[in-house]
């Protein structure tokens, strides 16, 4: 989906990364809210602690795994679907984290757009809970 060669003006879908970045929306009740407005929507979620982005993830949007279901998954008792460091961290700290979402829409094209946005957003924010340690170490040294 990226069609331009320069990072500054690379387009993901119809927008640049900077334009997508401006579309993150705060979710007032964080991970514990009802999230009714996220039913059926695809996109990214972002957990923030003390002003630092610590996790970025995406909903697949298919098979009922919309943004509502994905962010609600981190507060339920069962560990299904979160048997990895970032998921365990979100579950243990969900009540202290700020939640933001970047909705890409509904349907297949929205799922593809969310998938295309995840990598660039990870590169932009470098969240410590889902950036591979070797990459993070290189950034700290560099």
In a domain, 108, yes or no: yes
How far, in Å, CA of 58 to CA of 2, rounded?
A: 18
* pLDDT (0 to 100) of residue 23: 98
Percent of the chain at pLDDT > 70 equals: 79
In a domain, 11, yes or no: no
In a domain, 59, yes or no: yes
Report the pLDDT averaged over residues 22-27.
97
Look at the chain and report how many structural domains it folds into.
Answer: 1
In a domain, 109, yes or no: yes
In a domain, 43, yes or no: yes
What range defines the domain where residue 60 resides? 23-141
In a domain, 3, yes or no: no
Domain harbouring 71, CATH code: 3.40.1440.10
pTM: 0.84
In a domain, 2, yes or no: no
E strand or H helix at 111: helix 108-125
The residue ranking higher by pLDDT, 102 or 77, is 102
How far, in Å, CA of 120 to CA of 13, rounded?
A: 13
In a domain, 1, yes or no: no
pLDDT of 133 strictly over 50? yes
CA angle 5, 59, 100 (to 5 degrees): 80
How far, in Å, CA of 69 to CA of 50, rounded?
A: 25
Ramachandran sector of residue 53 (left: φ over 0; alpha: ψ -120 to 50; beta: rest): beta
């Amino acid at each position: 989906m990226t069609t331009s060669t320069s990072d500054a003006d690379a387009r993901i879908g119809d927008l640049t990364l900077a334009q997508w970045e401006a579309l993150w929306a705060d979710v007032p009740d964080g991970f514990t809210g009802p999230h009714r407005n996220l039913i059926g929507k695809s996109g990214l979620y972002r957990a923030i602690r003390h002003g630092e982005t610590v996790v970025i993830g995406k909903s697949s949007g298919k098979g009922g795994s919309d943004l509502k279901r994905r962010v609600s998954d981190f507060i339920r008792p069962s560990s299904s679907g979160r048997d990895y460091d970032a998921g365990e961290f979100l579950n243990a700290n969900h009540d202290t984290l700020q939640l933001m979402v970047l909705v890409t829409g509904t349907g297949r094209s929205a799922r593809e757009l969310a998938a295309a946005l995840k990598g660039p957003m990870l590169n932009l924010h470098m969240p410590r809970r889902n950036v591979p340690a070797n990459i993070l170490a290189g950034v700290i040294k560099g």
